[in-house]
Amino acid sequence: MTNDAIRQMSQTRSTRHRFLFVSALFTGNEAFFLNLRNAVSRREDVEATWMPIELDAQEWFARVPPISWNFSLKNAVIARARLSALERSGKVFDAAFINHVTPAYLLGSFMKRVPTIISLDVTPRLLDRYSVWYETGSPQSLRSPIDRLKLRLTRNVYRSATELMPWSLLAKGSLVTEYDIREDRVCVLPPGIDLNLWRNPQADGTHENHARPVRFLFVGGHFLRKGGDLLLKAAQRPEFQHCEFHFVTKTYEDPHIENVFVYANVSPNSESLRSLYRTSDVFAFPTRADFSPLAVCEAMAMGLPVVATDVGGLKEMVDDGVTGFIVPRDDETLLVDRLSRLRSDAGLRHSMGKNARKKAEEIFNLDRNAHVIIEHLKRASTNRVPS
């Protein structure tokens, strides 16, 4: 190896930024964290340390009450213990990126020393509006000491963060109006997906098999909350008897129906999941409670028109009449009407799907969004924004 090559390697090592990435692993947050890890791993200017907080974490104290009883408390205690172990082993970080607020609840002293960006798809106050679907109690539960403590911890984390990166304008609005965060400390950045991985070369319709039935796809771990029951009713209507309805979900309990196909063990980003998107015609998502679901990003990247409900940040993701349709929550009549229009009009499916792919390339580009995160971490490491 030449002296120039050795000198270049030494310079590269000395300029690498040491960043910590933390995330609670569940549903869309897990997929987002895996996607980000894949993108950052391709960069030579970052020395990344990854600290996922699993739902089934094996630390003994995570299985002991009262820690085991409370999701937020368990995430916080595990994150603090693991970070302490990393620092005792000699790890030093220039900045940190924490996805979801709960792992940061007990990291106040760390965040005072290390500039930290908090990424979030939802705030607890937003979540309270859909509490019946997320089993989080009700807005009135803030009267209890535990929930008041959680609210105070959340506000402290948001205010201690160097910067906040909500996935939607909806979440940004909650941060500003309900947590008194200055707008200049908030950067809206939607989640990113690998657009090379999530690509359907047949989405333009030139290879469409007109002999097969029109296929509707639903992806949602919680069948009832995501509105799977509404789609199941549509599947049994006479006008859809010759269509196929494919459900990727873990909580389907209904009886067998001839034109309904259920997949219970499909992993995020897997080839089996991508194949289902690739061979579908419409993504149907009549959810009752969601914020910025990655399944919608994936469908759009695959060139599928999306029929979704007007909840959370979905109106920011799906442009009504352009990349799909937005319908009111629990409006079966309008849902069936929009599904019927797409069922009977292949040209409309293809034009909306093309628009969906274009928007995915503009908004949900993993490499671009990961680059934004890294650049903000670099800036935070040298120029911490005051609380």
Judged against a pLDDT cut of 60, whether residue 34 lies above it is answered with yes
83-110 pLDDT, tens digit per residue, is 999 999 999 999 999 999 999 999 999 9
pLDDT recorded at residue 131: 78
Q: Do the Cβ atoms of 228 and 247 come closer than 8 Å?
A: yes
Q: Which of 28, 55, 98 is nearest to 314 (CA)?
A: 28
How confident is the model over 180-203, as a mean pLDDT?
Answer: 92
Buried b (16+ CB within 10 A) or exposed e, 202-227: ebeeeeeeeeeebbbbbbbebbebbb
The set of residues, in sequence order, having a beta carbon less than 8 Å from that of 41 and lying 6+ positions away, is 48
161-175, 190-204, 215-229, 292-306: least confidently modelled range: 190-204
How confident is the model over 177-202, as a mean pLDDT?
Answer: 93
- CA pair distance 7, 13, nearest whole angstrom: 10
For the chain, percent of residues with pLDDT exceeding 70? 91
- CA pair distance 47, 96, nearest whole angstrom: 12
Question: What is the overall mean pLDDT for the chain?
Answer: 90
Judged against a pLDDT cut of 70, whether residue 45 lies above it is answered with yes
Q: Positive or negative CA dihedral for 116, 121, 124, 126? A: positive
pLDDT recorded at residue 385: 45
Please name every residue paired with 119 in a beta bridge, in sequence order, or none if there are none. 99, 165
pLDDT band at residue 294 using 50, 70 and 90 as cut-offs: very high
pLDDT recorded at residue 10: 41
Judged against a pLDDT cut of 90, whether residue 368 lies above it is answered with yes
Q: Do the Cβ atoms of 98 and 23 come closer than 8 Å?
A: yes
Judged against a pLDDT cut of 80, whether residue 7 lies above it is answered with no
Q: Do the Cβ atoms of 101 and 154 come closer than 8 Å?
A: yes
Domains, the chain, in order of start with CATH, read 3-192+365-382 (3.40.50.2000), 215-363 (3.40.50.2000)
pLDDT recorded at residue 68: 84
238-241: long-range contacts, CB 8 A cutoff, minimum separation 24: 239/336, 239/340, 239/343, 240/339, 240/340, 240/343
pLDDT recorded at residue 250: 87
27-31, 83-87, 125-129, 182-186: least confidently modelled range: 27-31
The set of residues, in sequence order, having a beta carbon less than 8 Å from that of 63 and lying 6+ positions away, is none
Higher pLDDT, 11 or 152: 152
pLDDT band at residue 8 using 50, 70 and 90 as cut-offs: very low
pLDDT recorded at residue 195: 95
- CA pair distance 167, 104, nearest whole angstrom: 18
Helices (DSSP H) in 89-207: which residue ranges?
A: 108-113, 124-128, 131-134, 145-160, 169-178
Judged against a pLDDT cut of 80, whether residue 150 lies above it is answered with no
Higher pLDDT, 206 or 104: 104
223-248 pLDDT, tens digit per residue, is 999 999 999 999 999 999 999 999 99
The model carries a pTM of: 0.88
Please name every residue paired with 284 in a beta bridge, in sequence order, or none if there are none. 307
pLDDT band at residue 354 using 50, 70 and 90 as cut-offs: very high
How confident is the model over 8-21, as a mean pLDDT?
Answer: 69
pLDDT recorded at residue 201: 85
62-66, 114-118, 180-184, 294-298: least confidently modelled range: 62-66
The set of residues, in sequence order, having a beta carbon less than 8 Å from that of 203 and lying 6+ positions away, is 302, 303, 304, 350, 353, 354, 357
Judged against a pLDDT cut of 50, whether residue 300 lies above it is answered with yes
Measured CA to CA in angstroms, residue 219 lies from 32, 131, 242 at distances of: 16, 21, 21
For the chain, percent of residues with pLDDT exceeding 90? 74
- CA pair distance 381, 387, nearest whole angstrom: 15
Q: Which of 92, 74, 73, 70 is nearest to 83 (CA)?
A: 92
The DSSP line for 81-110 is HHHHHHHHTT---SEEEEESSGGGTT-HHH
Higher pLDDT, 211 or 328: 328
Q: Over 262-293, what HEC string results?
A: EECCCCCCCHHHHHHHHCCCEEEECCCCCCCC
pLDDT recorded at residue 56: 86
DSSP 8-class letter at 213: P
pLDDT band at residue 384 using 50, 70 and 90 as cut-offs: low
Helices (DSSP H) in 190-251: which residue ranges?
A: 228-235
- CA pair distance 355, 322, nearest whole angstrom: 7
pLDDT recorded at residue 317: 97
Judged against a pLDDT cut of 90, whether residue 144 lies above it is answered with no
Judged against a pLDDT cut of 60, whether residue 278 lies above it is answered with yes
- CA pair distance 162, 119, nearest whole angstrom: 11
Return the axis-axis angle of helices 332-344 and 228-235, rounded to nearest 10°: 60
pLDDT recorded at residue 134: 76
The strand ranges marked E within the chain are 17-24, 46-53, 95-99, 116-120, 163-166, 215-219, 244-248, 260-263, 282-285, 306-309, 324-327
- CA pair distance 297, 292, nearest whole angstrom: 9
pLDDT recorded at residue 43: 93
